[in-house]
Amino acid sequence: MSKKEIKNQADGQSISLEEIFDQKIAQDEKIEPKDWMPEKYRKTHIRQISQHAHSEIVGMLPEGNWITRAPSLRRKVALLAKVQDEAGHGLYLYSACETLGVSRDELYEQLHTGKAKYSSIFNYPTITWADMGAIGWLVDGAAIINQVPLCSTSYGPYARAMIRVCKEESFHQRQGYEIMITLAKGSPEQKEMAQDALNRWWWPSLMMLGPTDAESVHTAQSMKWKLKRKTNDELRQQFIDQTVPQAELIGLTIPDPDLKWNEEKGCYDFGEIDWDEFWQVVKGHGPCNKERLSARVNAWEEGEWVRDAAMAYAEKQEDKKLKKAI
Amino acid sequence: MKNNWPLWEVFVRSKNGLEHRHFGSLHAADAEMALENARDVYTRRNEGVSIWVVESKNITASNPEHNGELFEPANDKVYRHPTFYDLPDEVKHM
């Protein structure tokens, strides 16, 4: 009998570990860190969870850019709290990922060397205050649509982290939309600023929901493992249908001349997405790829002495305690 | 230099009357820093009134592959459950 097989004593049939695993997933049972899992499941989860964590960490950079220049104290505390949440979300996700037997150091290494990806949307610049509104409203809006189904994904630690993330995320979107509302009913210049931000963030937000179903290589497997519950195209449609009325409500125009309500299908038809742009940014040629990665690497390297000092202090305290005990 | 901060498990009591529950893990140089980091990472919205941290290496966990042998002794002891005992129908509550 192979190592992968165990004997079922009752009926003398042998059933492989993989079959037990598949049954568990089919019955919506969770997989926990020490349970047996196929190597491909482990690898895929490390890839997806770490990408997700990296996105939260890199995602702090475009917004951190505006903390010191927020137009009021109210906006500033909200933005600070949002960025702090993103750090927290990154940390929940890194620790969920570590339960799969990969170390934090390896994960950072993959991010810093460019081996691991993070969400391409963060490679776009934040050039006006309205970008803080558009990011909260659109980018966090798209993220929520992506993340809600993950609360019931099959890997226990990931699902638990996502429940926590989703609870905290809705304030992010509301604070962004509130910024847009305020600008949209402000001076003509402010309204124009809001429209300009929408123009720049709309298409990258649609791309954020991933390649079309026809192009997406991981969809089938991910659906089986409940790493995905809806396809990219379904999620994108949901995002568009929910966002268009919100833009109309505040008098902003979605920058898509082909956007039209389809009475028959009960959803919006929309124009062609520029997938060349998407792949260019994924491959590292977006407007800010280099800047983001170097900011992240610098933060890590320049913080090294702090981490070392903290460890040295901890060891010294431990020694002291030991000596006292003797 | 690679002098990595160890991993800690975080347990939070959400309010008095409830037990501490596992919330997740984090890295910290020592116990005091682990507590402070746990506050910032896991209780930003008043999720807790008490935090425990324990270095992950100090936890001994059972192996799910041995669940059969480990939990088998409980399987055949139905007499530990109240439904094992027959009572006349007249006894409504016991």
B-contacting residues of A 99-138, CB under 8 Å? 103-105
Helix and strand numbers (H, E) in chain A are 13, 4
The amino acid that residue A264 corresponds to is: E
CB contact under 8 A, A92 and B24: yes
Residue with tokens 């209780």: B43
CB contact under 8 A, B27 and A104: yes
Cα separation, B59 vs A47, whole angstroms: 27
pLDDT band at B73 (very low <50, low <70, confident <90, very high): confident
Q: Choose from A95, A158, A160 for mutation: most chain B CBs within 10 A.
A: A95
> What was the ipTM of the complex prediction?
0.87
Quick one: pLDDT at residue A13?
61
Q: pLDDT at residue A3 above 50?
A: no
- Does residue A304 belong to the interface with chain B, where contact is any CB pair within 8 Å? yes
Reported as type and span, the H/E element at residue B22 is strand B20-27
Quick one: pLDDT at residue B48?
96
Q: Identify the weakest region by mean pLDDT among A68-72, A136-140, A174-178, B69-73.
A: B69-73
pLDDT in tens, A237-268: 999 999 999 999 999 999 999 999 999 999 99
Residues ≥6 apart with Cβ < 8 Å to A236: A206, A209
Section A62-79 average pLDDT: 96
Section A135-148 average pLDDT: 96
Residues ≥6 apart with Cβ < 8 Å to A18: A4, A38
Name the most confidently modeled range: A8-22, A276-290, B61-75.
Answer: A276-290
Quick one: pLDDT at residue B3?
64
Beta bridge partners of B10: B24, B53
Q: Are A179 and A130 in contact (CB under 8 A)?
A: yes
Helices A304-325 and A289-302 pack at an angle, to 10 degrees, of 30
Quick one: pLDDT at residue A10?
45
CB contact under 8 A, B63 and A34: yes
Q: pLDDT at residue A2 above 80?
A: no
CB-CB neighbors (< 8 A) of B3 in chain A: 307-308, 311-312
pLDDT band at A227 (very low <50, low <70, confident <90, very high): confident
Q: Identify the weakest region by mean pLDDT among A134-143, A209-218, B42-51.
A: A209-218
Beta strands in chain A (DSSP E): 5-7, 14-16, 260-262, 267-269
Q: Are B25 and A95 in contact (CB under 8 A)?
A: yes
Whole-number percent of chain B with pLDDT over 90: 77
Cα separation, B41 vs A5, whole angstroms: 41
- Does residue A308 belong to the interface with chain B, where contact is any CB pair within 8 Å? yes
Cα separation, A128 vs B50, whole angstroms: 42
Cα B51 to its chain centre, rounded Å, is 13
Q: What is the DSSP letter of A30?
A: P
B-contacting residues of A 78-97, CB under 8 Å? 81, 84-85, 88, 91-92, 95-96
3-state SS assignment for residue A50: helix
B-contacting residues of A 167-206, CB under 8 Å? 168
pLDDT in tens, A278-317: 999 999 999 999 999 999 999 999 999 999 999 999 999 9
CB contact under 8 A, A314 and B61: no
Residue of A89, A217, A167 whose CA lies nearest to A97: A89
pLDDT in tens, A149-198: 999 999 999 999 999 999 999 899 999 999 999 999 999 999 999 999 99
Q: Are A63 and A132 in contact (CB under 8 A)?
A: yes
